[in-house]
Amino acid sequence: MSIRISCPNKEKMLPCFPCSCKKCAWFVRETAYNNCFWVLMHVFSKWQFSLEFEEIARLEGLSVEEVEEIYNNAVIKLKNEARKYQDSSKN
C-alpha cells in the first residue's frame, strides 16, 4: 500500500459520516474521529494540538515501536531531502 500525503477524498473538515476508505494509510481505528488521521491532524493543527506516539499507536492500531520507527524514517527522509535541496541550490 502506498502512503499518501493527504486525504484521498480531499477532506479538509471532520466528515459527518465515518470514512469508508479502510485501505487508506491514514485510516484510524477510532470512530470518535470518523476514521481519518489526515483530517484529524488537519483540524488539530488549527489549535496547535499534537498527539503522543502512544496515542498515535492506539489510533492507528500499531505498536509504539512501529510508530517510533515510522517517525524516525520520516525524519531521515526529510533530512536527506533537505540536503539534496541545499546541494541543488548551490549549483
Q: What is the pLDDT of residue 47?
A: 76
* 3: DSSP letter: P
Place of cell 505498536: 63
Mean pLDDT for 13-32 is 69
- 4 alpha carbon, distance to own chain's centre: 9
Q: In the numeric block, which cell numbers belong to residue 46? A: 488549527
Mean pLDDT for 13-20 is 66
Q: pTM above 0.85?
A: no
Q: Which amino acid is at 35?
A: N
Report d(CA 44, CA 50) in Å as an integer.
7
Place of cell 549549483: 91
Determine contact, residues 14/40, Cβ cutoff 8 Å.
Answer: yes
pLDDT tens track for 35-48: 677 667 767 777 77
Mean pLDDT over all residues of the chain?
Answer: 76
Mean pLDDT for 41-58 is 79
Q: What is the pLDDT of residue 3?
A: 47
Q: Percent of the chain having pLDDT more than 90?
A: 14
Q: In the numeric block, which cell numbers belong to residue 87? A: 546541494
